[in-house]
Structure 1
Amino acid sequence: MPVRIANVTFDCENTLATARFWSAAFGRPLDPDPTEFFASIGLTEKDRDGTPSVFFILVPEKKTVKNRTHLDLDSGGDRETEIARLVGLGAKRGADHDEFGHSWTVMNDPEGNEFCIS
């Protein structure tokens, strides 16, 4: 049997703030009893549809370089509206790109983690 993604994990300087941002971004509630050391989304959902859980773990070091891996998010066809919503939640907008017939915008979550939205 091939592997599947079980969890996506974010190392965090501020676990709760980062978890709250992504909870609002995904429209998925935080799991009960988050702490400053660990929070999660989807770990306790009973009937998961194959969507990975998202973990947020406190680490002592700050982010210093570009992510080697990042999330690519689908806006559902209204990228500008979704970008505005995410900026309202605390994200920062980066550069717009249009290559190989695909358009996307690079963004940063409140901790500086890069993600893309198309």
Structure 2
Amino acid sequence: MAARIQVTFDAASPPTLGRFWAQVLGYVEDAPPPPFSTWDEALDAMGVPVEQRDSAYAVVDPDGAGPRLWFQKVPEEKSGKNRVHLDVTVRPDLPREERPDAVRARASELEGLGARRLYEKEELGSFWVTMQDPEGNEFCVQ
């Protein structure tokens, strides 16, 4: 049986960062567990106080193909460069000569969502833009 992957992010604001990544990847908020129709109902039943309901957030691929992304609240700020990061691929079928313009266009869209562009790089026939999400986590658009 293949292992399922969940990618976990430490965050100052899990719902905010989770919504950013949902927009980037076309993901949706993870559904509450049955039999609950809303997260507030589920969290009420679990006894989670209202002031703690922003301590975690999850988004999922609506097609079920990609990993679940889990965002957990932590008290400390990000302190260094990521050792692992996500790569967001822009249309893998694009010819090599069209890729830089498409990658730059997608990077500009993500800046509109709150990402920050760090630098562009072309190496060994590949082109990518390294960016940071709203909480400073690095990722690449390729």
Same fold (TM over 0.5): yes
**Equivalences for 1:45-84 in 2 at 5 Å?**
48-49=64-65, 51-76=66-91, 77=99, 78-84=102-108
Measure, in 1, the Cα distance between the counterparts of 2:4 and 2:86.
Answer: 13
Report which of the two structures shows the higher radius of gyration computed on alpha carbons.
2
More deviation, 77-86/52-61:
77-86
Runs of 4+ in 1 over 6 A off after TM superposition: none
Q: Measure the CA separation in 1 of the matches of 2:117 and 2:29.
A: 24
Equivalent residues of 2:13, 2:54 under 8 A apart:
yes
TM-fit CA distance, 1:5: 4.7
**Residues 67-108 of structure 1: CA distance to partner in whole angstroms, max 9, x if unpaired?**
011111101142122111110000000110111211111000
State the TM-score, normalizing by the size of structure 1: 0.87
What one-letter code is carried by the residue in structure 2 that aligns with 1:15?
Answer: P
Deviation at 1:42, TM superposition (A): 1.6
Q: Does 1:42 align with 2:60?
A: yes
Q: CA deviation at 1:4?
A: 3.6
The percentage of counterpart residues that share the same residue type is 36
**Corresponding residue for 2:140?**
116
Which of 96, 109, 124 is 1:85 aligned to? 109
- Whether the 8 Å contact between 2:104 and 2:129 is mirrored in structure 1 is no
Aligned to 2:5: 6
Classify the secondary structure of the residue corresponding to 2:21.
helix
Root mean square deviation, CA, Å: 1.9
Q: For residues 8-27 of structure 1, what are the structure 2 equivalents within 5 Å?
A: 8-27=7-26
Q: CA deviation at 1:64?
A: 1.0
Partner Cα separation in structure 1 for residue 11 and residue 87 of structure 2: 19
Q: Work out whether residues 29 and 59 of structure 2, in 8 Å CA contact, stay in contact via their aligned partners in 1.
A: yes
**Alignment: residue pair count:** 114
Cα distance between partner residues in 1 of 2:5 and 2:120 = 30
